[in-house]
Amino acid sequence: MAVATLTSNTIKFQENVPFETYQKICDFLNNLGVRIETESRVEPHGLTEEDLKNIEISRQQIARGEGIPSEKVHKQMWDKYGK
């Protein structure tokens, strides 16, 4: 497991971490509200700014009760395309 040291708002890893682990760390910190900046901005899981914007719009729609339950979507798909 990688160990990090916090110095002047910078996290320095004492060893190299796999990219997937780095992404998980960034996602975790992002979920806590910590802003992550890198020299070359790598979006989580290859998402574009437009993707992230659309995800945020979807989350807002769900919060307003505008979402469709997955059970309803599945039923519509089964009804339309069969089993």
pLDDT of residue 60: 93
How does strand 10-13 pair with strand 4-7?
Answer: antiparallel
pLDDT of residue 57: 92
Give the separation between CA 45 and CA 51, rounded to whole angstroms.
11
Q: Which regions of the chain are under pLDDT 50?
A: 6-7
pLDDT of residue 38: 63
Query: How many helices and strands, by DSSP H and E, does the chain display?
Result: 3, 2
Contact 30, 44 (CB under 8 A): yes
36-49 pLDDT, tens digit per residue, is 766 555 555 677 88
pLDDT of residue 34: 79
